[in-house]
Structure 1
Amino acid sequence: MSKHPHAPVPARRALALAMGLALAGAAQANDAAPAGGQPVTLAPVVVTAAMQSGPLTVTIDPRQPVQPVPASDGADFLKNIPGFSVIRKGGSNGDPMLRGMSGSRLGFMIGGGMIAGGCPGRMDPPTAYIAPWLYDRVTIVKGPETVLYGPGNSAGVVLFDRDYKRYTEPTLEGSGSLLFGSSGRNDQNLDLRAGNASGYVGVSANHTHSQDYKDGDGHRVHSQYDRWNVDATLGWTPSDDTRVELTAGTGNGSAAYAFSGMDGSRFLRESAAIKWTQEHLTKHWDELEVQAYMNYADHVMDNYTLRQPDPRSMMAMPMASNVDRRTHGGKVMGTWRWDDALELQAGLDGSASVHSNRMGGPFGSPMGYYKTKPRVRDARIQDIGAFAEARWTLTPRDRLISGARVDRAEVRGYTLAVPAPGMGGMGGMGTTSTQVAADRSSTLPAGFVRYEHDLADAPTTLYAGIGHVERFPDYWELFGRNALGTRAAFLSLRPERTTQLDVGMQYHTDRLKAWASAYAGNVANFILMHYPVGAMGTGYASNVKARTAGGEAGASYLLTDHWKAETTLSYAWGRNRSEGRPLPQMPPLEARLGLTYQAAEWSVGALWRVAAAQHRVARGEGNIVGQDLGPSGGFGVFSLNGAYRIDRRYTLSAGIDNLFNKAYAEHVNAAPAALAGYVNTVRVNEPGRSLWIKLDARL
């Protein structure tokens, strides 16, 4: 039987029940329109294809119903956006990739603050601590085309933000949702806000749960999960130009993993931030933003909470590993505007995080109870950067956007191995006779320039940009499960340097919306992970020369007043020039085709997702999350959905994912572990036919 030590079962059920009752009560509490405007009624449509909203930018509402089944975490949410893919590990907490790039190449910010996990085996990527429904807006900027959000984001950056504004009169508003689906899936989400001209307060909470799912062949996959989050916001708005906002939140959960000999039994998150925004300081100094934040992740992995230890495995005894990572950071940024001709944003940002670990077993274990063991600090990572980004309107149809930043990155490792005399080489068995500390640092420049032009004879924008970014090796590449862990390896792994060209177009009329973006990059010192060969092998990271290319495209066309067709396409390509072979873990060509019929109060839709076979592989190599397991076959998955707007407050949506119960797995994947009672496959298979129904409500 599953156990969840992070919260008693009655407490979690009470939270879910309280949220459900609050949702129903809030929807009935006030039938008046929000202050300052008419009721906002969204069209009852299930989103199946997210479109690029501007050059290299996607902005979406994470609260809209979406197919496949609405997301359980940040990675689940992102996988529906062209260019993204997710390395599946179980039912939740997959690792997101953008254009075939994962890890710290893809930055994540929640409310303007950086969040990062701590598991050496990458069980807790940043998105494992993010509940998308609790945010008002998600923005994705592809490629090295902004310098405002920290260093090293060569693939792009993802921003999860809440939008609070000054109220003009006393106001109470709220929204929530309930979801039920196959495999015991059930979610409860609630967001309540109140305020007046002097300030505001908000509370948001969510709970999501699922049992093991079955793949298309009817085989059960070790994949159950349970997660909850609660966040509070307090704002002071003494004038239209001044806002001080304090936020705090916490969450926890558990997740079973098909890819590992351990599961995640604890995903504790604690967050706090304060932000001061002052507008209209002078004629041209339009805004000053000052922010400080703290994000803490405490993660436990073990082999006894969500499974029974396998006596035939290498971990026959109950054992646990507890890691944590505390990150402090801040940002000071000013915005200056000169009429409509020039906008400049410039400032400083920085972060520092400390990582520690401890190991043991359950209470009474011969290894010692892990909670009583002292935490051992193994890494300190810090960065400080200065940046400036400007937008020039050269003519009514021409714009130039450019930015530059420079960062100073420093890392200290506390438990680095020094090979024993005579062992030599890259290190291996018997080389950890001594542990030492070592420091390293680098200065990392970055910048970009992009030109945008609106055609005179068509509603079309063309753009082209080139960007350069240098990325310092991250925690997993220096200290992770597949890193060598020696002092020599720590000091020799060089920062990654990416130079990338991005081009594209946006077309927008009342009936047709179309967009396309393409990129080509050259990466010096690309950090490649080499996985162990055999049970006693050692993994390591190395620098290689690489090239990348690919793109995304999409179109949405109103066939009639009621029928709409949508399609998106994405492709990523990479080559390891040093070894003359493909880059590993590159997703194949993928297309999504959707058709929707929409009436005034209801809609029905269909989605056909098709992925090509992938034969460009590099066995034994990968990223910090997974490795290439060999070629994979293509697949097609067909799904149906519908939505009905009951009234202004309630919208009901439902869907059937994988209608024909196809057994398939994504190419980018993690190798499954041989688990007793489960059928072993080459890759972690996706869910079979799944049904879900969701009720959204708003004040």
Structure 2
Amino acid sequence: MSHPVRPAPRASWLSLAIASALASPFGVQAAAPDPVDFEAVVVTASPVSPLTYETDPKLPRQPVPASDGADYLKTIPGFSAVRNGGTNGDPVLRGMFGSRLNLLTNDGSMPGACPARMDNPMSYVSPETYDRLVVIKGPQTVRWGPGASAGTVRFERRTPRFDTPGIDLTGSLLGGSFGRNDQVLDATAGMPVGYARLSANRSESDDYRDGSGDVVPSSWKKWNTDLALGWTPDADTLLEFNAGVGDGSARYAGRGMDGAQFKRQSYSLRFEKSNLPGSLERVEASVFANYADHVMDNYTLRTPNPMSSMPMPMVAQVDRRTLGGRNAWTWATGGLELTAGIDGQQSRHRERGGMGRNAHLAMPWVTDANFQNAGLFAEATWTLSAARRLVSGARADRAEVTDKRTVAGMMGRPNPTAGLRRKETLPAAFMRFEQDTTSTRGTWYAGLGHTARMPDYWELFSPDRGPMGAVNAFAGIHPEKTTQLDVGLQYRAPTFDAWVSAYAGRIQDYIIFAYMEGGMMGMMSSAANVDADIRGGEAGVEFRPAPHWKLGGTLAYAWGENRASGDALPQMPPLEARLSAGYDNRRWNAGVLVRAVSRQTRVALNQGTVVGRDIGPSAGFATLALNGGYRFTDRVQLTAGVDNLFDRAYSEHLNLSGSADFGYPADPLRFNEPGRSAWVKLNVDY
């Protein structure tokens, strides 16, 4: 673990200094501090309606602004991530992982290709290039695709509208410890009949040092560019075409290989028409085509370890093409609003690889899996009175998976399920009652939801073995069925807001991974179904004791149990609390954030998911972070922060153990999080 940490590139700090100097004259000439568009640094998000959270990913964030979608999701209570290095963690909501979370960007799916989810869907997301992040917790919507037993996540870009010809420009520059260096540009030119929007970003970081001063392999470089062309002949019509590309690389302390390539291509076309005559209010139609081309190896960003299971240079290339579409109609009459529609997608997965540098380039592509899904859905909101609402929905999906592998395993044995096609019908439904209190300051709700989820690529094709008695996971793993009750209360007053949400669920055929030593092959995995119980909740409070001051706190807890054995479900995050205090006079702002995480002793040793496994109990920790900012004008804002102020050496419970390639011991040992780190960010909006 002796890899040097390079100093922060001078160019990033110089660009910030120049931009700050250019912004200063505007601050001098500004007549008054308001109106101001920028908000204070985001440390945690609160619900905007029952089970729905919304935030602006462009806003400055503590800790250091996120490099990927999973990192930004952690501002919402209940979210955590499986850590494997400095970026591209895998999101977890209430202890639930993988396709239990429906992860969408511009309402399209980008599932990734790595058999171990090195390139999970959120690794292709640059949060700051989107305008809105919307999260719906639990199986409490059916509008955005199948499964989604844990929740639905949508990164969205708003539709720009222009009354007269003009240009909108937003951007940011970020510099920080360990060579952190980000640039973001979002430029839109438009007129009443249409617009063109360019969104681009670049982000990089060196390896970081933990609180003990040790280097943790964690560097990354990534970039994304997206272009949208829109036609808006009137205020109620939109036709938009999107095209995007990106690439990157990432070094992982917790994996035996690094990500040498994260190429993506994204295309979409959508049509929207609103304010139609009669009861039909809105029509939406969209199609998308997403392609992920991922390369992983053990030689580009590290040196092969002669004592490991991969002593020689090895490389693997995987790709996944996903095509899909959606059509929805919305009617409103009296107190009833109904949205109904159809959606579907198909996905093809391929792989190739070999031993030796760039050996994959000489190998043919081999398709190992094909997926298809078609669904019907309907979701309605019935306003019973001014204070009462009933929200309900149902959907049915037909899922199909084909096993295209001719051989199975490293030994190349014939695949017993070669050419086999699985078909499943998957039902889902929910009903939620919402009641405003007589003072109109509070809302309570209770919802019951059920959803069936088709096993995903990683559950059907990644395990080395299937359940006992099955020839492999493809033949033996059953769809997962979740039934969950969600209840909660929200209260808003002039100086005080509070909310609490709780859930209890029963999962039939929960898909669980088990790991065991496999000799020269390293860890071997098997997948099986068990029945499970889950429960937990989140709570938050915000108190505004005086003008410009804000005090807040959130709490999140998740619990799970294997009903057959009585053991804990693996990979459950521990109890976490966040306490914050902030001051904002619309010119200056400052804040403090304390994050406290309890120890986790409820573990299932060597059980988990395709990404991570429980390697033992974890210790609790607490960190302190500071942030501050200054608004030169209502268009220019400078923010800065210090994370882990006291330079604590700590690790997250959801953590891949450090790889022996970097000197970590053979016994599983969690790698530590970054030590004290500082950052400064300039936001501009013209």
| SS of alignment partner, residue 180 of structure 1 | strand
Report Cα offsets for 1:201-260 as digits up to 9, x if no partner: 100100000000011111111100000000000000112221100000000000001111
Equivalent position of 1:449 in the other structure: 431
1:111 lines up with 2:106 in the alignment: yes
Q: Is the 8 A contact 1:482 1:529 kept in 2?
A: no
Equivalent position of 2:620 in the other structure: 634
Residue 317 of structure 1 deviates from its aligned partner by 1.3
Equivalent position of 1:244 in the other structure: 239
**Counterparts in 2 of 1:154-553, with a 5 A limit?**
154-339=149-334, 341-361=335-355, 369-415=359-405, 432=414, 436-457=418-439, 459-480=441-462, 484=466, 488-535=472-519, 536=521, 538-553=524-539
2-structure distance, mates of 1:175, 1:26: 15
Q: TM-score, normalised by structure 1?
A: 0.91
| SS of alignment partner, residue 559 of structure 1 | coil
| SS of alignment partner, residue 654 of structure 2 | coil
Judged with a 3 Å threshold, the aligned counterparts in structure 2 of structure 1 residues 388 and 27 are, in CA distance, closer, same or farther, namely farther
Report Cα offsets for 1:367-400 as digits up to 9, x if no partner: xx31232110000011000000000000000000
Equivalent residue in structure 2 for 1:120, among 106, 115, 119:
115
1:79 lines up with 2:74 in the alignment: yes
Q: Is the 8 A contact 1:263 1:306 kept in 2?
A: yes
1-structure distance, mates of 2:596, 2:44: 13
2-structure distance, mates of 1:69, 1:294: 32
1-structure distance, mates of 2:567, 2:413: 31
Equivalent position of 2:6 in the other structure: none
RMSD over aligned Cα atoms: 2.6
Equivalent position of 1:697 in the other structure: 684
Equivalent position of 1:6 in the other structure: none
| SS of alignment partner, residue 202 of structure 2 | strand
Equivalent position of 1:665 in the other structure: 651
The one-letter code of the counterpart of 1:497 is: K
Greater mean deviation of Cα atoms: 385-394 or 523-532: 523-532
2-structure distance, mates of 1:223, 1:78: 20
The one-letter code of the counterpart of 1:686 is: E
The one-letter code of the counterpart of 1:180 is: G
Greater mean deviation of Cα atoms: 40-49 or 653-662: 40-49
Residue 282 of structure 1 deviates from its aligned partner by 2.3
Greater mean deviation of Cα atoms: 536-545 or 492-501: 536-545
Q: Is the 8 A contact 1:247 1:273 kept in 2?
A: yes
| SS of alignment partner, residue 223 of structure 1 | coil
Residue 671 of structure 1 deviates from its aligned partner by 1.8
The one-letter code of the counterpart of 2:350 is: S
Report Cα offsets for 1:65-108 as digits up to 9, x if no partner: 11000000101111121000011100000001000001000011
1-structure distance, mates of 2:393, 2:250: 40
Q: TM-score, normalised by structure 2?
A: 0.93
Q: Is the 8 A contact 1:67 1:641 kept in 2?
A: yes
The one-letter code of the counterpart of 1:357 is: E
1:560 lines up with 2:546 in the alignment: yes
1-structure distance, mates of 2:437, 2:504: 24
Equivalent residue in structure 2 for 1:56, among 30, 40, 51:
51
Which portions of structure 1, spanning 4 or more consecutive aligned residues, are displaced by more than 4 angstroms?
Answer: 15-28, 427-435, 481-488, 677-681
Residue 26 of structure 1 deviates from its aligned partner by 12
1-structure distance, mates of 2:19, 2:367: 43
Greater mean deviation of Cα atoms: 483-492 or 680-689: 483-492
| SS of alignment partner, residue 675 of structure 1 | helix
1-structure distance, mates of 2:553, 2:649: 24
The one-letter code of the counterpart of 2:449 is: G
| SS of alignment partner, residue 41 of structure 1 | coil
Judged with a 3 Å threshold, the aligned counterparts in structure 2 of structure 1 residues 310 and 483 are, in CA distance, closer, same or farther, namely same
**Counterparts in 2 of 1:608-619, with a 5 A limit?**
608-619=594-605
The one-letter code of the counterpart of 2:603 is: V
Judged with a 3 Å threshold, the aligned counterparts in structure 2 of structure 1 residues 676 and 645 are, in CA distance, closer, same or farther, namely same
| SS of alignment partner, residue 233 of structure 2 | strand
Equivalent residue in structure 2 for 1:685, among 669, 672, 676:
672
1-structure distance, mates of 2:459, 2:122: 19
Residue 182 of structure 1 deviates from its aligned partner by 0.5
Residue 47 of structure 1 deviates from its aligned partner by 1.3
Report Cα offsets for 1:401-443 as digits up to 9, x if no partner: 000000000000111657xxxxxxxx99785577722110100
The one-letter code of the counterpart of 1:191 is: D
1-structure distance, mates of 2:516, 2:406: 19
1:577 lines up with 2:572 in the alignment: no
Unmatched 5+ stretches in structure 1:
3-12, 32-37, 419-426
The one-letter code of the counterpart of 2:683 is: D
Q: Is the 8 A contact 1:522 1:547 kept in 2?
A: yes
- In the alignment of these two chains, the number of paired residues is 669
| SS of alignment partner, residue 270 of structure 1 | strand
2-structure distance, mates of 1:675, 1:138: 37
Residue 44 of structure 1 deviates from its aligned partner by 4.8
1:98 lines up with 2:93 in the alignment: yes
Equivalent position of 1:648 in the other structure: 634
Judged with a 3 Å threshold, the aligned counterparts in structure 2 of structure 1 residues 416 and 621 are, in CA distance, closer, same or farther, namely farther
Q: Is the 8 A contact 1:61 1:136 kept in 2?
A: yes
2-structure distance, mates of 1:300, 1:552: 38
Unmatched 5+ stretches in structure 2:
4-8, 28-32
1-structure distance, mates of 2:198, 2:590: 33
2-structure distance, mates of 1:19, 1:165: 29
2-structure distance, mates of 1:254, 1:25: 33
The one-letter code of the counterpart of 2:122 is: T
Greater mean deviation of Cα atoms: 91-100 or 310-319: 310-319
2-structure distance, mates of 1:294, 1:26: 41
Equivalent position of 2:30 in the other structure: none
The one-letter code of the counterpart of 1:114 is: S
Equivalent position of 2:124 in the other structure: 129
Equivalent residue in structure 1 for 2:574, among 578, 588, 611:
588
Residue 578 of structure 1 deviates from its aligned partner by 1.5
Greater mean deviation of Cα atoms: 590-599 or 671-680: 671-680
1-structure distance, mates of 2:402, 2:111: 17
Equivalent position of 1:149 in the other structure: 144
2-structure distance, mates of 1:615, 1:623: 18
1-structure distance, mates of 2:410, 2:113: 24
Residue 25 of structure 1 deviates from its aligned partner by 13
The one-letter code of the counterpart of 2:475 is: L
